[in-house]
Amino acid sequence: MPGILCLIAGATVFSMQDVVIKLMSGGYALSEVLTVRCLVACVPLFFLLKFGGGGLRALKSQKLGLLLIRSAMLLVSYTTYYLSMASLPLAVVVALFFAAPLFIVILSGPLLGEKVRPSQFAAVAVGFAGVLVICFGPAFSGDAGAQTAKALVEPAALLALGSALFYGASAVMARKLADTESGAVMASFQNIVFLAGASTIALITNLGPDLSAEVSNGSLQFLLRPWAMPGTRDLLLIASTGLVGACGSFLLTQAYRLAEANVVAPFEYVSIMLAALLGWWIWGEVPTGATYLGIALIIGAGLYVLRGKPAV
């Protein structure tokens, strides 16, 4: 029970972070949000390294290349995840992101040499069917031709799905690093690479012309928008994502330390229900029946895959 409670708390905390970033996506730049988030996260990460990760000396790893590659994958994953929020309902983004366990199953065979049963591949196929239903489900209601055309060219759905792919790849790499590197070290490298990536995007978007005014897509505007001076309320909200991210990571780590993985992992899907509830409450987003069907397929496939994994 303590492990389950930690996981639900961690999922709730990360849902709050998603809400803040979606709120900020309409008026601020993604690079600005990420930069502030990373700077604030340096404080809790420093204490995690000092008291549980071997101190700053632990950053002198023999697997520097792998740590940087994994961190770069997570930078792409989180960047595409946040960008998709600017154009899609929160529940849809979170549901598409939860295709990540399915990608992990696909990648664990060739990259880790793990045996994947045919039934698990079947579950992956069902999960991807759910992804397709979410992406193209609106075609079955209203003006079918217009809805289908919109779904086929909507890049935000591909951003969310790409986020799941890169997250899955990073999770597989984390298993290669887990024997020698602590969670605090991996999180610290991730934060460093995030800060470098956000700073690079900021230089490009702030030194050149404001390209966000030239596009109408919400995701592109979030990416290309130059920095703006936030008010006190918005600055505190953006800064809170750094503390929220550190606390959420700690809670999820504790969950898997306190209980068997196959017991607590299914409760990860609490995030989808929270996203649907928060999206309805804050933005009035009401998922269609097709969206609920797609979510059910993804959850069902993910639970079947998790059920077949051994406890750790």
- Dump pLDDT digits (tens) for 184-240: 777 788 888 999 999 999 998 888 777 777 777 888 888 888 888 888 999 999 998
Q: What is the distance, to the nearest Å, from the Cα of residue 82 to the centroid of all Cα atoms in its chain? A: 8
Check pLDDT > 50 for residue 62.
yes
Half-sphere exposure of 273 (CA within 13 A, CB side): 10
pTM: 0.81
pLDDT score for 145: 40
126 pLDDT more than 70: yes
The overall average pLDDT reported for the chain is 78
Q: What six digits make up the tokens of 302? A: 């993910």
The two structure tokens encoding residue 28? 């601020």
Cα 142 to Cα 63, 90, 146, 147, 157: the distances in Å are 53, 22, 9, 7, 20
170 confidence band (pLDDT: 50, 70, 90): confident
Is residue 8 domain-resident? Answer: yes
> Which CA distances in Å does 37 have to 53, 159, 246?
21, 21, 10
* In contact, 245 and 17? CB cutoff 8 Å: yes
Q: Which residue has the higher pLDDT, 158 or 108?
A: 158
Count Cβ atoms below 10 Å from residue 62 Cβ, excluding itself: 9
| More confident: 236 or 107 | 236
d(CA 263, CA 295): 21
The residue ranking higher by pLDDT, 89 or 267, is: 89
Q: Kindly report which listed range (78-87, 161-170, 245-254) carries the lowest average pLDDT score.
A: 245-254
| Position 312 in a domain | no
Hey, what amino acid is at 49?
L
Is the confidence at residue 95, as pLDDT, over 90? no
Distance CA 84, CA 154 (A): 10
Distance CA 174, CA 171 (A): 5
What are 2-57's pLDDT values in tens digits? 777 887 888 888 888 889 998 898 889 999 999 998 888 888 888 877 776 566 67
Number of domains in the chain: 1
Asked whether 60 and 48 are in contact (CB, 8 A), the reply is no
Domain that holds residue 30: 2-307
What whole-number distance in Å separates Cα of residue 74 and Cα of residue 187? 10
Domain-embedded: residue 29 = yes
Identify whether the C-beta of residue 40 lies closer than 8 Å to the C-beta of residue 247.
Answer: no
Q: How far is CA 219 from CA 19, 53, 206, 213, 290, in A?
A: 16, 37, 17, 13, 23
What is the rounded CA–CA span in Å between residue 105 and residue 232?
A: 44
Residue 198: partners with Cβ closer than 8 Å, 6 or more residues away: 30, 31, 32, 34, 35, 38
Residue 52 lies in a domain: yes
Distance separating alpha carbons of residues 259 and 264, to the nearest angstrom: 7
Q: Give, in order, the Cα–Cα distances in Å from 310 to each of 8, 117, 146, 263, 288.
A: 21, 13, 46, 10, 35
**Is residue 195 situated within a structural domain?**
yes
